[in-house]
Structure 1
Amino acid sequence: MRQHRCCGPKTGFGGKLDKCGSVNMNVRRVVSAVTVLVVLCAVEAVAQQPQNVPHIAYVYPAGVRRGETIQVVVGGQRFRENATLLVSGEGLSAEVVEYKRPLTQKEFNDLRMRAQMLQQQKKTPEVIAELLEIRKKLMTFNRDQNPALAESLIVEITAAPDAPLGRHEIRVLTPVGLSNPVAFEVGVLPEYVEHEGYDFRNPGKNMDQGAIEVETPVVINGQTLPGDKDRYRFSAKKGQKLVIVAEARKL
């Protein structure tokens, strides 16, 4: 059985009802126009959102030991100075310490000109300090840098002594939207973090940095790029059974 609800003698748009449930053509046109406008606005918002929301490419290191505080680099794009970091689960807290973005070509040229001017001045402590700071910034400039990895957030993450073990998720929140989730793990083993960095100007330097001594059990955090080799040395006894678990794409 179909039920009808009588709306009264007039609609909110000024159109008259011929009888219950029947509106005139003017009302239908207004309703259709409003519907089309709402749909267009929704489509435009959906189309714009993926282009502006932050995106995380990597988190390094990708884990922390219970009861410790570490500094983490979150790399990606479309971050902002007022970005915040969200960590799923209890027992974890995060604070953004610094936002870094790549130099533009103009900024690079301006800094280089400034450095040339300072070279002509008397080498006072202030001039030397400014020169060192400029050179530090110029060394980070890379014309061929992947835009998806160009920006970074330096974050301090603290894991409480009773923080739940296992996998958590990290997201970046900006006024524009929420980023994709990236895995972040809490464990009980000591963690070693590789800090050597990658020399894009001389990839050959990354080939072999020598073996690094570690004590087991341990979680080793590292990044390997083209031309890069990482070597680790640890002690073991004859007949001892060792379990080595590698997580790469899983992270």
Structure 2
Amino acid sequence: MLSRKQLVQAAQLAEQCGRYKDMATAMKQLVVEGKEPLTHEEKTLLSEAHKLLIQEHCSSWRRLKCSVEQGVGKQKEQAQAYREAIKKELEAQCWEILSLLDNVLLKHCSESDDESRAFYLIMKGDNYRYLAEVALPDAKETLVKSAEKAYGEAQELSQKYMEPTHPLALALALNYSMLYYEVLNNPQQATKLAKAAFDKAIAGLETLSLEFYKESTVIMQHLRDSIVQWTSDQQPQVENNVGELEG
């Protein structure tokens, strides 16, 4: 049986060579067998493992869209079957991490550990978002509501206990806005949510600690890029804020 340190090392090695399934397996074992709360490094490894693995499935599922829509006859049937197989793998992975979150991580997380609770709630929202993206219309609404509930609970924690420049507050805004843009096809709401978080972070740059500087500014860059993309350069105020951030 591998020790906690060895499992972390195994996950790191798997990430280095792009074997995300092995990375996720190592971190799942650490969560199930561990008796102590996860460290920041361990939480990050767990999140990255599942995000990279699931996004790989999402990317494959999206790429097959044209083959399904434009294919004919047996070719179309084969593309549909392959896309459905990828979807089932994605769903199994999402439900697995959701079970881990509900039955272990959130269940045993200290009520006073606001950062960890927010972190796990964001993960929960992300996985419901992935499920909603590939879901059939009759199941999509319920999954979207579950994602909004998780993101909403994380938002309450971030607004109450974190500065607007905290990386968790920024990551939440980015991921929550992606729910509206990618799943609900609502760029207006996505832009509104992302811009509100970006503007608050710009206004509170003096509160940005050196500890979070690199992580927070990278997420702010992603927020900025998303806002610019979604508004197609129609909001001069965004450009002004961009200049302030770069300055």
Classify the TM-score, shorter chain: under 0.3
Higher relative contact order (CA 8 A, sep 6+): 1
Which structure features the higher share of strand residues? 1
Which structure features the higher share of helix residues? 2
**Structure 1 length-normalised TM:** 0.23
